[in-house]
Amino acid sequence: MTDAPNPLVGAAPFPAAARVELGKPQLRRNLRHATHTIRDKRLRVVSELDDWEDLRAAGSAIKAHVRQNLPELLVEFEAAATAAGATVHWARDAAEACRIVANLVIGAGATELVKVKSMATQEIGLNESLETVGVSAYETDLAELIVQLAGDTPSHILVPAIHYNRTEIRDIFRQHMPDAPDGLTDDPPVLAEAARTHLRRRFMTTKVAVSGANFAIASTGTLVVLESEGNGRMCLTLPETLISVVGVEKLLPDFTDLEVFMQLLPRSSTGERMNPYTSMWTGVTPGDGPQDVHVVLLDNGRSSVLADPIGRQALACIRCSACLNVCPVYERAGGHAYGSVYPGPIGAILSPQLTPGRNESLPFASTLCGACYDACPVRINIPEVLIHLRQTVRHRPAERVAFRILADLMAHPRRYRAALRAARAGAALHPRRHRVAFPVRRAPWPGSRWTAARDAPLPATETFADWWARERA
C-alpha cells in the first residue's frame, strides 16, 4: 500500500492558485450566488433566537473543556464504545489510519465500499489510498458524488460542488454516470432522481461503509452524524461492516452537550432550524444495523495543534462552513485556491497547523475583516490565530530586510518623518497626485512585489503629525 499525496497541502501557494481561479468568471458567479444564498438563510434563522450569543458562549466553553481534558475523554470514549461492542483503533497519522481501514475492508472480503460525507477521510486521502490496494470507495453525498464523478476535488466544506451550476452538473452526469437516464435535463429534481437511482443500487449491494462523525460522546461511546439527504442513514444502517474515522477533537463529554450543538450546527451550516437526518449509534445493536462496528480515532497533527496556546482554538471547529460563506477572499477565489481539504478561513488556520512548515501562504489569504469571527458558532477568534500564524512564517530575505527597515524607521521619529517627506516628494511627481483616493497600481521594483497583488495608496499630502502641529501650535 503506497501513501497517497497529502490532501492537506496544495501544489501551488495561495497567491498563484488564486490568480488562476480569479480568471474563471462562471466560477465566481456560482460562488457568489451560493454563498450569498446560504449566508442570508443563516442570518434569518440565527436572528430567531434571543439566546444565540449564549449558545455560542456555551459551545465555546464545552470545546475549551474538551481541549483541556482530551486524554481522559478519549480513554472514556474508548471504554464506553468497546463495552457497547465497537472496536476502537488509534491512528497517529494519515498513513496509519488508511492502513487500518484498508485492512478492515480487505478482512471483510470486500473490494468496494460506500461513504458518508466525511472531512476526516478526505484529510487522510482515504479514497486514493484504498485505490492502491484495489478497493473502490463510492461517495454517496450528492455533492461529493458530483465531484467524484467529475474527477475533481471539493471546493467547500459543506457544499463540495459549490463551484458547479446545475447545467454543469447535468453534463457531468451525462458524461460520467453510466446509468444516467436518456434525455437528462438540468432540472434539480430530475438530477436528484438520477443520483438517487444510481446510489440505491450501491446501497443494496455494498457490504462495507465508511463514515466520519460530527460528534463523539465520551460518556456513552455514541457517534453522531448530521446530514440532509438520507444517504448517510442508508450507509450507517444497511452494510454489515461500519468503519468511522473520527478526529480526536470531535469528542463531547456528555450526551446533554448535544443540546447546544444541535442548535448551533444546522443554523450555521445550512441555515436550517434543524437538519433533516440525525443518526446516532453506540457500538453494535444485535440484529439491527451493522454487526461489525469500528472507530478509528485520528490524531494526524492534532496533538501538536493542541500544544499551541493560541492556535489550538482551531480544534473547536464543528465544520459548519459559516466562515467560508462570509469571507470576501473565499467568495472571490473559491475553495481550490487554498489547495487544501480545508478551505476558507478555517483552512487558513487549521491546514498550516496540521502540516507545520507547509501551507505557509494560507494565513495571508485574509483581509482580517473579522466577518469569520462574528459568524463562527463556537467563537473561534480566527483573525487572532491568523495574525499569530503570520508571525511564525519564515519570511523571505527581501521581506526580512523590508521589515527591518520599517522597524528601524518606526523606532526613530526623525528618520520616520524624513522617510515620509521623501515619499511625499516622490508622490508629487505622480501625474494624478491631486486625486487623493487614486491608488498606485504598478510601482517600480521593489514596490512592484506589493502592487503585483494589491493597490498601494499614494501618501497623503499632509500627515497627521503635520496637521496636528499646524492646528494645535
Q: Catalog residues that contact ligand SF4 under the rule CB under 6 A.
A: 268, 317-323, 345-346, 375-378, 380
Which grid coordinates are listed for 281?
449509534
Residue number, 159 or 378, with CB nearest to ligand SF4:
378
Residue number, 164 or 342, with CB nearest to ligand SF4:
342
**Shortest approach of ligand SF4 to residue 337 CB, angstroms?**
17
**Shortest approach of ligand SF4 to residue 126 CB, angstroms?**
21
User: If DSSP states are collapsed to H, E and C, what string results for the chain?
Assistant: CCCCCCCCCCCCCHHHHHHHHHCCHHHHHHHHHHHHHHHHHHHHHHCCCCCHHHHHHHHHHHHHHHHHCHHHHHHHHHHHHHHCCCEEEEECCHHHHHHHHHHHHHHCCCCEEEECCCHHHHHCCHHHHHHCCCCEEEECCHHHHHHHHHCCCCCCCCCCCCCCCHHHHHHHHHHHCCCCCCCCCCCHHHHHHHHHHHHHHHHHHCCEEEECCCEEECCCCEEEEEECCCHHHHHHHCCCEEEEEEEHHHEECCHHHHHHHHHHHHHHHCCCCCCCEEEEEECCECCECCCEEEEEEECCCHHHHHCCCCHHHHHHCCCCCHHHHHCHHHHHHCHHHHCCCCCHHHHHHHHHHHCCCCCCCHHHCCCCCCHHHHHCCCCCCHHHHHHHHHHHCCCCHHHHHHHHHHHHHHHCHHHHHHHHHHHHHHHHCCCCCCCCCCEECCCCCCCHHHHCCCCEECCCCCCHHHHHHHHHC
Q: Can you tell me the distance from the alpha carbon of 349 to that of 366, in angstroms, rounded to the nearest whole number?
A: 10
Residue number, 8 or 113, with CB nearest to ligand SF4:
8
Residue number, 114 or 322, with CB nearest to ligand SF4:
322
**Shortest approach of ligand SF4 to residue 383 CB, angstroms?**
12
Q: Can you tell me the distance from the alpha carbon of 134 to that of 111, in angstroms, rounded to the nearest whole number?
A: 7
Closest residue by Cα to residue 199 from 144, 277, 270? 144
**Shortest approach of ligand SF4 to residue 288 CB, angstroms?**
33
Residue number, 317 or 341, with CB nearest to ligand SF4:
317
**Shortest approach of ligand SF4 to residue 318 CB, angstroms?**
5
Residue number, 239 or 344, with CB nearest to ligand SF4:
344
Residue number, 39 or 433, with CB nearest to ligand SF4:
39
**Shortest approach of ligand SF4 to residue 114 CB, angstroms?**
25
**Shortest approach of ligand SF4 to residue 333 CB, angstroms?**
16
**Shortest approach of ligand SF4 to residue 367 CB, angstroms?**
16
**Shortest approach of ligand SF4 to residue 156 CB, angstroms?**
10
Residue number, 63 or 198, with CB nearest to ligand SF4:
63
**Which residue type is seen at 457?**
P
Residue number, 221 or 344, with CB nearest to ligand SF4:
344
Residue number, 239 or 352, with CB nearest to ligand SF4:
352
**Shortest approach of ligand SF4 to residue 317 CB, angstroms?**
3
**Shortest approach of ligand SF4 to residue 316 CB, angstroms?**
7
**Which residue type is seen at 401?**
V
Residue number, 130 or 317, with CB nearest to ligand SF4:
317
Backbone phi, psi, residue 393, to 5°: -70, 145
Backbone phi, psi, residue 343, to 5°: -95, -175
Q: Can you tell me the distance from the alpha carbon of 87 to that of 238, in angstroms, rounded to the nearest whole number?
A: 19
Tally of CA atoms within 13 A in the half-sphere of 331 that contains its CB: 18
**Shortest approach of ligand SF4 to residue 119 CB, angstroms?**
10
Q: Can you tell me the distance from the alpha carbon of 184 to that of 174, in angstroms, rounded to the nearest whole number?
A: 7
Residue number, 86 or 385, with CB nearest to ligand SF4:
385
